[in-house]
Structure 1
Amino acid sequence: MDFKFYKLLLLGGAVRLYFSGTSLASLIGNRVEFATPLNSFKRVQEGVFLLQQGIDPYRGDLVHETPLLLKALSGILLNYAQLLPILYILLDLCTGSLLYFLSRRFVEQKLQEQRLERKDYAKDTEELQYSADDNCNISELVLLAYLFNPLTIMSCIGLTSTVLSNLLLAMYLYAMIRRQLLVCLALLAFETVRSLYPVVLIAPLLLLFARHSVSRGIGILMLFATCCLAVVGANFLVMNSWNFLDGTLGFIFYFRDLQPNIGLFWYFFTEMFEHFRTMFLITFQLNATVLYLVPLSIKLRKEPLLLATVLVALMAVFRAYPSLGDVGFYLALLPLWRRCWKFMAHGFVVFTFFLITLSMMGALWHLWIYAGSANANFYFGATLAFCTGQIFLITDLLFAHVKREFCLYNGQKIMIDGEEARILLE
């Protein structure tokens, strides 16, 4: 680690500490783009209070955080509430640090792979290959993309539990790149019990540890199920009740709260006839979990980390209660694939989508809720365009990866009848 790493880390912490003391912090904590029924700090506060009073917080429909986390935060909330912003900042800095170390390890592994495969590469592909300089450049870009992304900063100062989710995902990815199977399974089980959708991240582990062995893959799945049961059992010991399962996983799957957010669920289920609800609920949940899992796993079987990145991004788009903090996390992973950027053709379109839709969300929300001069269609239009921009980004990254792999072995210039051919994916 160099001095620049510590300097960026301190600067990122200072930025968060400054804004946490302003009125922006309370504003962000109430914004539907950042605070959802799952990650809202107010709901965590309510859950801690009910738990301390001996009341089951899952009897109503307000608290949806796991008992383990409520118990862990109760001591701080009750005795050192003024230090809570510092705790969230430290957790966010830990996430940035893990992503930094992850990127360094990733580049080192890529360099080792290239030494073995370079003899098969085409001659004009030097710019597509990872270099020793990438060990510093890519890791710094990842750190910058996380610490100074407005989406992650505001998610942190708003005290959303997305900060903890990002930390757990960063720990999982770091353990995966270091080939620590048991740590990965434990972290993934904890996050799966909290928010359901990370269950799909078992696929990169299977590709990494059991690509050529079905029996080993079955063993990993059984071990993962055991870890999930252990986490569920630990939550039961805190509450001495199974109500938390319906208040957490059940609440997510059945989508009981129609509060608007940046996702796609809320508008459709607000407008839908009740007798169609079950069919569309299953359809939407399949789309958010297993629909893309098999084809992506087959295509990216040699790149488990890229598969994990794409799955995290798809979760941020299609999950029931997404937030901008989820988006900020996967955006910080994009510099890992810097050598694919040359083939990404929709960068300007995606940037424009993000800039315009994020700017419009606040204005359209005000016109709808406060001014009364707009309706739900206006706000959903902005969120739908934002999701479309994210899909453009994900597909662009996947196509760029495929093009880079093709050009590495076939060259960037392919001549047909004396003319340079264009590489098109259909």
Structure 2
Amino acid sequence: MDLKCFKLLLLGGAVRLYFSRTSLATLIGNRVEFATPLNSYKRMQEGVFLLQQGIDPYRGDLVHETPLVLKALSSILLNYAAFLPLLYVLCDLCTAALLYSMSRSFVAQKLKQQNIESKDYDKDSVELQYSERDHYDISKMVLVAYLFNPLTIMSCIGLTSTVLSNFLLASFLCALIRRHLLICLVLLAFETVRSLYPVVLIAPLLLIFARRSAVLGTAIFLVFVSFCLAIAGANFWVMNSWNFLDGTLGFIFYFRDLQPNIGLFWYFFTEMFEHFRTMFLITFQLNATVLYLVPLSIKLRKEPMLLATVLVALMAVFRAYPSLGDVGFYLSLMPLWRRCWKFMAHGFVVFTFFLVTLSMMGSLWHLWIYAGSANANFYFGATLAFCTGQIFLITDLLFAHVKREFCLYNGQKIMIDGEEARILLE
């Protein structure tokens, strides 16, 4: 990391430390857009207190963090609580540094691949190809996109455990791009036991390490399952009870807490008749996990990092308890696909969706909860539009990738009967 990027890292840390000492930190820690039943700092505090008192924190329905994390943070929370914001800031800075390192390795691999394939590229596709300059430009854009994104900053100062999730995902992506198989499996297993949905990232991992060998792929998957069981066993060793499985993975899958958030689950299950719950619960969870996994894996089998990016984004949209911190993480990965931006047609629409809906959420929540002049429909309308904007962004990126791949080999200007043709995806 050069001096300029190191200064950006220090500035990002200073911004987080400053706001963590203001009243904004308390406000963000209580906002449903950032703090969910899974990542709330208050619930983690309660879990640590119950654990120290020798009470099983998973007997009720309040604590949903894994015992290993509670045990790791217990001494800090109880003895050095004043330094906890610093720990979260350092964790967030490590995430940014890992993303920076990952992006440099990503560009290096793209250049290596491009040198092999460039003999088949059209002469008109120079603009669409990665260049040596991208080593610096793309990695710096990724760093800035994470460090100075208001969503990641506020998620950090609100002391949400999304900071830890982002760190684990960034570590996984960095290990993945550098081909460290065992590290990838351990990190993915740990995050899967914590929050279920990252299990889908086993697909890009298998595409990288076992694309041409079904036997090797099966072996890797079995090792991944073994790591998951080992981490679950370590959690059992801390608690001497399996209650944590129902309090973490069971809580996520069965969606027991209907607290509003930026996702799609809460309103639907609030309004739905109880005897339909099981069917729609399975439907929603399939939509959040395996529904898009097979078709995307087949289509993007040659681009596992794009597949990982899209899967992380889909998790942030369709998971049971999403937060804006999850959104901020995958937005920081978008500069990796800078060479596709030329073909992204809905940038203004997506930006408008994000700007308007994020601005409306706070006011509509106030009108609903405090002023009593609105209802749940108003707030859910804003979150639904926000999810729609995210889907526009994801599909736009996928279409742009397909168009770029076509133009690399066929050129950007294709003439039919003397007129320039347009590339349309139907």
> In which range does the TM-score fall when normalised by the shorter chain?
over 0.9
Partner Cα distance (2:348, 2:140) in 1: 23
Q: For 1:422 and 1:286, locate their aligned partners in 2 and report how far apart those are by CA, in whole Å.
A: 36
Counterpart of 2:77, as a letter, is: L
> Matched residues in 2 for 1:204 and 1:2: separation?
30
Deviations 1:280-321 (A, max 9, x none): 000000000000000000000001110000000000000000
Question: What amino acid does structure 1 have at the position aligned with 2:176?
Answer: M
- Structure 1 SS opposite 2:123: coil
Name the residue aligned to 1:424: 424
Distance 2:218 2:107 in 1: 30
**1:122-133 superposed matches below 5 A:** 122-133=122-133
The CA deviation at 1:2 is 1.1
Following the alignment from structure 1 to structure 2, what is the Cα–Cα distance between the partners of residues 3 and 162?
28
In structure 1, the residue matched to 2:329 is 329
Which residue does the alignment assign to 2:351? 351
SS for the counterpart of 1:200 is helix
Q: CA deviation at 1:351?
A: 0.0
* TM-score, normalised by the number of residues in structure 2: 1.00
> Whole-Å Cα distance in 2 between the matches of residues 232 and 158 of structure 1?
28
| 1:303 aligned partner | 303
Q: Distance in 2 between matches of 1:371 and 1:137?
A: 47
Q: Residues of 2 paired with 1:302 and 1:117: CA distance?
A: 13
Counterpart amino acid of residue 352 in structure 1: T
- Secondary structure in 2 matching 1:65: coil
- Cα deviation digits, residues 121-141 of structure 1 (max 9, x gap): 000111100000000000000
Task: State how far apart, in whole Å, the 2-side matches of 1:49 and 1:306 are.
Answer: 41
Counterpart of 1:39?
Answer: 39
Counterpart Cα distance in 2 of 1:112 and 1:306: 17
Distance (whole Å) between structure 2 residues aligned to residue 391 and residue 39 of structure 1: 24
Deviating 4+ runs (over 4 angstroms): none
Rounded to whole Å, the distance in 2 between the matches of 1:113 and 1:17 is 41
Other-structure match for 1:14: 14
SS in 2 for 1:101: helix
**2:75 maps to what in 1?**
75
Equivalent in the alignment of 1:229: 229
> What pairs up with 1:16-415 in 2 under 5 angstroms?
16-415=16-415
Instruction: Give the distance between the partners of 1:241 and 1:256, measured in 2 at CA.
Output: 21
SS of corresponding position for 1:124: helix
For the residues of structure 2 that align with 1:276 and 1:113, how far apart are their CA atoms?
50
Q: Distance in 1 between matches of 2:125 and 2:268?
A: 47
Distance of 1:74 and 1:226 partners within structure 2: 27
State the AA in 1 paired with 2:107: V
CA distance in 1, matches of 2:302, 2:181: 18
- Which residue identity is paired with 2:283? T
C-alpha separation in 2, matches of 1:421 and 1:127 = 19
Distance 2:368 2:5 in 1: 44
* One-letter amino acid matched to 2:353: F
Which has the higher mean CA deviation after the structures are superposed, 342-351 or 1-10?
1-10
Using the alignment, how far apart are the partners of 1:251 and 1:129 within structure 2?
Answer: 46
Q: Distance in 2 between matches of 1:388 and 1:217?
A: 35
Deviation of 1:105 (Å): 0.5
Distance in 2 between residues matched to 1:393 and 1:255, nearest whole Å: 27
Aligned equivalents of 1:84, 1:16: Cα separation in 2 = 13
- 1:309 is aligned with what amino acid? T
Aligned mates of 1:423, 1:158 — CA distance in 2: 45
How big is each residue's C-alpha offset from its partner over 1:186-214, in whole Å with a ceiling of 9 and x where there is no partner?
00000000000000000001100111110
Q: Output the CA distance in 2 between the equivalents of 1:190 and 1:199.
A: 10
User: d(CA) in 2 for partners of 1:206 and 1:100?
Assistant: 24
Distance 2:303 2:401 in 1: 10
**2-side partners of 1:91 and 1:233: how far apart?**
26
User: Which whole-Å CA distance do the structure 2 matches of 1:271 and 1:293 have between them?
Assistant: 29
> C-alpha offsets along residues 371-411 of structure 1, whole Å, 9 cap, x if unaligned?
00000000000000000000000000000000000000011
Alignment deviations for residues 86-131 of structure 1 (CA, whole Å, 9 cap, x no partner):
0000000000000000000100111111111111000011110000
CA distance in 2 between counterparts of 1:114 and 1:378 reads: 49
Name the count of aligned residue pairs: 426
Amino acid at match of 1:288: A
1:354-382 deviation line (CA, Å, top 9, x unaligned) = 00000000000000000000000000000
Counterpart code for 1:88: Y
Cα distance in 2, alignment partners of residues 236 and 339 from structure 1 = 47
Following superposition, the deviation at residue 5 of structure 1 comes to: 1.1
* 2:203 alignment partner AA: A
Q: State the secondary structure of the residue aligned to 1:339.
A: helix
**What letter matches 2:108 in structure 1?**
E
Give how far 1:266 is off: 0.1
In structure 2, C-alpha distance between the alignment counterparts of 1:126 and 1:373, rounded to whole Å = 56
Shift of 1:322: 0.1
Q: Distance in 1 between matches of 2:188 and 2:121?
A: 36
Identity of matched residues, %: 85
Which letter does structure 2 place at the counterpart of 1:212?
R
Q: Deviations over 1:131-187 (max 9, x none)?
A: 000000000000000000000000000000000000000000000000011100000
| CA distance, structure 1, for counterparts of residue 5 and residue 357 of structure 2 | 32
